[in-house]
Amino acid sequence: MKTIIFCRECDLRHIMEEAAVVCECGHETKILNDPATGPEVKVCAICGYEHLHLRKEFPRPLGMAIVVVAAISMWWMPGKIFWLPLIIASLIDMALYHVLPWKVVCYVCSSEYSGYQPTDEQAPYDLETATEHQKLRWPKKTSIV
Ligand SMILES: [Zn+2]
Ligand SMILES: [Zn+2]
């Protein structure tokens, strides 16, 4: 399980390994509630909101490599089937999409949680929901504290 956070002040990416991480800009980000208590993330550990969505754990360099290889191989294909590498590339993409796990991503603070089970309420990214939640200020003020 891995948590990636983005500094609220400067947007720098950090891997959250401790209960708090101090950014190069001096801003400290703390974990409000530890997500590692169960197989699911229901509340964001960093901002405290429950607005989470799912994203495929798709390594971007791999996606790029597939496209580049497909584009190059098109040159070597006999004229009639020059499109074949593109078809193969998209088949690989589709296959990967089914195999790769989901990660849970926060709408509000963009924190990413890898290795957790998606809950029933969590759905893939939705632009409308995102626009609505990005206006929220975080960390959320909890009534308990
Ligand atoms: Zn920072
Ligand atoms: Zn969050």
Q: Is residue 144 part of a domain?
A: no
68, 109: one domain: no
Give 97 Cα–ligand 1 centroid separation in angstroms.
Answer: 32
Name the closest ligand to CA 42.
2
The residue segments making up the domain with residue 76 are: 60-98
Q: Are residues 94 and 120 in the same domain?
A: no
Q: Ligand 2 centroid to 61 CA: how many Å?
A: 26
Compute the distance from residue 6 Cα to the ligand 1 centre, in Å: 8
Q: pLDDT at residue 145 above 60? A: no
Residue 140, in any domain of the structure: no
Domain tally for the chain? 2
Same domain, 7 and 52: yes
> How many angstroms separate the alpha carbon of residue 67 from the centre of ligand 1?
33
Residue 64 DSSP SS3: helix
Reported as a single tens digit per residue, the pLDDT across 6-31 is: 999 999 999 999 999 999 999 999 99
36 and 48, same domain (yes or no):
yes
> For 26-65, what is each residue's pLDDT tens digit?
999 999 877 667 889 999 999 999 999 999 998 889 989 9
Buried b (16+ CB within 10 A) or exposed e, 67-83: eeebeeeeeeeeeeeee
Task: Give Cα 124 distance to the centre of its chain.
Answer: 10
Task: Give the model confidence (pLDDT) of 61-93 as tens digits.
Answer: 998 999 999 999 999 888 889 999 999 999 999
The ligand whose atoms approach the alpha carbon of 113 most closely is: 2
138, part of any domain: no
pLDDT score for 143: 55
User: Beta-strand (E) ranges in 75-141?
Assistant: 102-106, 112-114, 123-124
90 and 113: one domain? no
At residue 144, the pLDDT reads 52
Residue 143 lies in a domain: no
